[in-house]
Amino acid sequence: MILFTRAHEGRGHWQDRSVNDHDLELLRRAIAISASAREHGNHPFGALLSDPSGSVVLTAENTVVTGRDVTGHAETNLVRLASATYEPSELAAYTLYTSCEPCAMCAGAIYWAGVGRVVYALSEVELYRLTGDHDENPTLTHPCRSVFADGRRPTAVDGPALEDEARVPHIGFWVDGPTDGG
């Protein structure tokens, strides 16, 4: 079932793609990983990598708090694992699924790894609505597509999708955020 097709804006070289049932299944797994990250004392973000057949080969949680590492975002953690295992030429056929749109740092990491496609659930703009100017997550609302647009090799992007489900692990987490209304 094709849920929607998103025409990509800007001057990038993405192809129009669609989010299919398998994409949604893997996005839900990424959202479940984001809930696990919260249970483990970190920020609620999760990501996974699928091979060209759609099988999950790697998963990663946010580890910013427990790892005392501000670069410990789920996608950057995943890219560290992926680039230790696969060449960029291989990763061009792989897809990274993430519970939230990659920030500029993670998009850069994804680009350098050569991952060919990104599918995300919650947009950075929606994340900012949840976090506000929270000290632990002063959200960087730069669209990941804008980062990829400046690259020399194509990165396909699909999202947002399943935003209502992706919000759930964030509920009550960013309680100190100024946009939290209660």
Point out which span in 63-71, 105-113, 129-137, 152-160 binds Zn ion (CB under 5 A).
105-113
151 to 73, 104, 155: CA distances (angstroms): 21, 13, 8
Smaller CB distance to Zn ion: residue 38 or 73?
73
Neighbours of 133 (CB within 10 A): 12
Contacts of 68 (CB under 8 A, 6+ apart): none
Cis peptide before 178 (omega within 30 of 0): no
- Residue 144 in contact with Zn ion, rule: CB under 5 A: no
Q: What one-character-per-residue DSSP string does 125-171 give?
A: HHHHHHHTT-TT-------HHHHHHTSSS--EEE----HHHHHGGGT
Based on the shown chain and the rule CB under 5 A, indicate whether residue 147 belongs to the binding site for Zn ion.
no
38 binds Zn ion (CB under 5 A): no
Shorter beta-carbon distance to Zn ion: residue 18 or 71: 71
**Which pair of tokens denotes residue 130?**
């949840």
Minimum distance of Zn ion from residue 174's CB (angstroms): 16
Supply the minimum distance, in Å, between the C-beta of residue 6 and Zn ion: 21
Grouping H, G, I as helix, E, B as strand and the rest as coil, residue 119 is strand
Query: For Zn ion, which residue of 19, 103, 147, 157 counts as binding (CB under 5 A)?
Result: 103
Q: With CB under 5 A as the contact rule, which of the stretches 7-15, 33-41, 95-103, 119-127 interacts with Zn ion?
A: 95-103
91 belongs to the binding site for Zn ion (CB under 5 A) = no
Rg of the chain taking only CA atoms, in angstroms: 15
Among residues 9, 39, 61, 75, which one is catalytic?
Answer: 75
Is 9 catalytic? The answer is: no
Task: Determine if 170 is a binding residue for Zn ion (CB under 5 A).
Answer: no
Binding flag, residue 106, Zn ion (CB under 5 A): yes
Nearest to Zn ion of 64, 156 (CB atom): 64
Active-site residue numbers? Answer: 75
